[in-house]
């Protein structure tokens, strides 16, 4: 099953499971989504539960918030990650702070989903990864699946979660394929996965970078360097138990993130590792990121910005050379 089809199946599964779940966004109903991730849902669930909206990001996210505070379980689609920023007041000032400011009177069970990331030559305003910004706001959960099975399991977990979840679908992964078991899949937020075992170094990645890290690890293995790869999957809550355990066993940490270097999530993970298990490290942690630039359109430039399999391999080799 493709990642794209998994998104549809995930939403369908949750809408069948709970009548309070509805989908709202631009072009999600009749057109089936600009990324073709919501086709067929209108036919099955009708216009009461699958709603096309005007181009009104604040209204969409605000309506989701109001509905969540009134007992529903909205899934709001923002299309491109970049457009979340158009409604960032609602996200960071209103939704994220609701439970805290009301002293627990108004927790908000809602999901805001959007397509993030580069690789499709969409240029600077349609390619951003916003996970690190969102995770910096107390009150938001941030989930970024890298496989079709995870899309379904984590979407279910997100929709059933009592808190607001920002659900990051990577547009570069939409046509990627993966095994998906039959039946309902429900995962858990806050669980990282060791997707490749290895002795020599731990590579921590999210979203599209997971596949690239795995590929790099395969090549490195052929050269005799055995890397472990962790798919973080959920950035908030963050499974530091799995990450710390992994780094303890390998002594080396490499983070691979697709966002500008300043204040990336990799910095947080490196900081936790250095603070808490410094003595297990046999080398300084290494971060692989995009440079501190907006993502360019031209293929040759975009490819040079986003961490590639080659860059991951070279960086890991370099880290070894330094020891």
Per CB under 8 A, 133 contacts other proteins: no
* Strand duo 193-196 + 227-231: pairing: antiparallel
**Which residue in 175, 221, 136, 165 sits closest to 35, CA to CA?**
175
Q: Is 275 in the site for other proteins (CB under 8 A)?
A: no
CB of 117 to other proteins, least distance (A): 23
The single-letter DSSP state of residue 295 is P
Work out the angle between the directed axes of helices 148-160 and 3-17 (0-180°, nearest 10): 30
Residues facing 141 on adjacent strands: 165
Provide CB contacts within 8 A for 138, sequence distance 6+.
96, 97, 100
**Would residue 131 show up in a list of annotated catalytic residues for this protein?**
no
**105 scored as a contact of other proteins (CB under 8 A):** yes
Q: Find the binder of other proteins among 17, 27, 69, 261 (CB under 8 A).
A: 69
Asked if 302 is an active-site residue, the reply is: no
Q: Which stretch binds other proteins (CB under 8 A): 8-16, 103-111, 173-181, 255-263?
A: 103-111
CA dihedral 206, 208, 213, 218 (to 10 degrees): 140
CB closer to other proteins, 94 vs 202: 94
Footprint of other proteins on residues 15-44 (CB under 8 A)? Answer: 22
DSSP string, 49-66: TEEE--S-HHHHHHHHHH
* 189: DSSP letter: T
- Please state, in angstroms and rounded to a whole number, the distance separating the CA atoms of residues 58 and 213: 36
Q: How would you classify the pairing of strands 234-236 and 21-25?
A: unpaired
- 175-234 positions binding other proteins, by CB under 8 A: 190-191
**Which one of residues 30, 102, 175, 299 is an interface residue with other proteins (CB under 8 A)?**
102
Least Cβ distance, residue 72 to other proteins (angstroms)? 5
Backbone angles phi, psi at 147, to 5 degrees: -130, 160
Contact between 99 and other proteins by CB under 8 A: the answer reads yes
Q: Please report whether residue 125 would count as binding other proteins according to CB under 8 A.
A: no
Residue 59 sits in the site that holds other proteins (CB under 8 A) = yes
| Residue 165 in contact with other proteins, rule: CB under 8 A | no
Residue 103 is a binding residue for other proteins (CB under 8 A): yes
Is 70 near other proteins (CB under 8 A)?
yes
67 contributes a contact to other proteins by CB under 8 A: yes
Catalytic residue among 14, 26, 77, 126: 126
User: In the chain, what is the straight-line distance between the N-terminal and C-terminal CA atoms, in Å?
Assistant: 42
Among 82, 239, 257, 302, binds other proteins (CB under 8 A): 239
DSSP 254-287: EEEEEEESTT-HHHHHHHHHHHHHGGG-SS--EE
* Sites of contact with other proteins (CB under 8 A): 22, 48, 51, 53-54, 56-72, 74, 89-90, 93-94, 98-107, 109, 138-139, 162-163, 190-191, 236-241, 272
Catalytic residue ranges:
57, 126
């Amino acid at each position: 099953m493709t990642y794209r089809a998994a998104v549809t199946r995930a939403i369908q599964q949750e809408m069948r499971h709970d009548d309070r779940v509805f989908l709202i966004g631009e072009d999600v109903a009749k057109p089936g989504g600009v990324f073709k991730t919501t086709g067929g849902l209108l036919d099955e669930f009708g216009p009461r539960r699958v709603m096309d909206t005007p181009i009104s990001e604040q209204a969409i996210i605000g309506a989701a918030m109001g509905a969540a505070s009134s007992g529903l379980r909205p899934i709001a689609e923002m299309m491109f990650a970049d457009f979340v920023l158009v409604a960032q007041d609602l996200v960071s000032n209103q939704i994220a702070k609701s439970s805290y400011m009301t002293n627990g009177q108004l927790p908000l069970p809602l999901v805001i989903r959007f397509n993030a990331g580069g690789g499709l030559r969409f240029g600077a305003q349609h390619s951003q990864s916003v996970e690190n910004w969102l995770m910096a706001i107390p009150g938001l959960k941030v989930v970024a699946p890298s496989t079709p099975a995870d899309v379904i399991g984590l979407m279910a977990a997100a929709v059933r979660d009592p808190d607001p979840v920002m659900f990051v679908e990577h547009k570069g992964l939409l046509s990627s394929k993966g095994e998906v078991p039959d039946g309902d899949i429900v995962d858990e937020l806050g669980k990282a996965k060791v997707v490749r075992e290895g002795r020599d170094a731990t590579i921590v990645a999210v979203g599209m970078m997971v596949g690239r890290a795995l590929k790099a690890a395969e090549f490195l293995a052929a050269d005799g360097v055995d890397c472990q790869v962790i798919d973080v999957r959920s950035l908030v809550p963050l499974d530091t138990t799995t990450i710390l355990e992994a780094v303890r066993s390998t002594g080396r940490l490499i983070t691979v993130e697709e966002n500008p270097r300043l204040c990336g999530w990799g910095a947080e993970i490196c900081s936790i590792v250095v603070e808490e298990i410094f003595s297990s490290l046999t080398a300084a942690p290494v971060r692989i990121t995009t440079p501190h630039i907006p993502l360019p359109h031209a293929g040759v430039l975009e490819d040079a910005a986003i961490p590639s399999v080659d860059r991951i391999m070279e960086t890991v080799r370099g880290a070894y050379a330094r020891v």
